[in-house]
Amino acid sequence: MTRLSVNINKIATLRNSRGGNIPNVVEAAINCEKFGAQGITVHPRPDERHIRKQDVFDIKPHIQTELNIEGYPSEDFLKLVKEVQADQATLVPDKPGQLTSDHGWDTIKHQSFLKDVINELQESGIRTSIFVDPDKKMVDGASIVGTDRIELYTEPYACIYPENPEKAIAPFVEAANLAKELGIEINAGHDLSLKNLKYLVDRIPFIAEVSIGHALIADALYMGLRNTIQEYLECLRP
């Protein structure tokens, strides 16, 4: 069964909008796991507009499953990931101040850089995953840089899915099959929701993990966090 990692950035965004510590991101992480999530994802950005560095240190001791830290692999980010001893680091090619991730790595152009970063993290015992578009050339490049996993950037899938599910999923199936052949595990994330998640994992049942934040937290406003997580887990069951 594909594992569910809940991205709690939006909870931190809500907290930061008012100041103080309500809602409490540590309590949110604990509850996500208690309600069935198999991991917690955070994406600390340089401006700390949602998850802050201190949040990451505060959350880690309370995580019973695994902590996935996303971000651009700057010196500060790598230092944080190693100090916290994250279970997984997901590397994204975001520019400072970027609203949200919107593309994968060019694994050919940035081959040398990615090799060095991945080696540094793996030497510290941290599993690596890199954000990749559903492009077979980029998957080939991911194999060369030595990453443990790729995270397929699924916004294009989510955009096309309502109009043509088969067209939406086709490049992702090709990319995933190639990654599997190359011995790379597969994660997926971005704009996944209760509307499109089951179709994705039914067509690519060997996805190791999905990371979902925005839609899941939005759904929780209406259904509650416990019920929402259970609904997402139901989508992931074979």
Q: Is-contact 147 128, C-beta < 8 A?
A: yes
All residues at 6 or more sequence positions from 189 whose CB lies less than 8 Å from its CB, including other chains: 7, 151, 152, 153, 154, 210, 211, 212
Establish whether 214 is a catalytic residue. Answer: no
**DSSP at 35:** T
Q: Is-contact 205 11, C-beta < 8 A?
A: no
Q: How far is CA 15 from the centre of its chain?
A: 21
The structure tokens 């916290």 sit at 84
Residue 211, SS3? Answer: strand
Catalytic option among 33, 70, 151, 209: 70
The structure tokens 């309370």 sit at 62
Task: Report how far residue 46's alpha carbon sits from residue 52's, in angstroms, rounded to the nearest whole number.
Answer: 9
Catalytic option among 50, 151, 190, 209: 190
φ, ψ for residue 110, nearest 5 deg = -105, 25
Establish whether 70 is a catalytic residue. Answer: yes
Establish whether 190 is a catalytic residue. Answer: yes
Task: Report how far residue 109's alpha carbon sits from residue 134's, in angstroms, rounded to the nearest whole number.
Answer: 16
Catalytic option among 43, 50, 151, 209: 43
Q: How many CB atoms lie within 10 A of CB 167?
A: 11
Q: How far is CA 124 from the centre of its chain?
A: 20
Catalytic residue numbers read 43, 70, 190
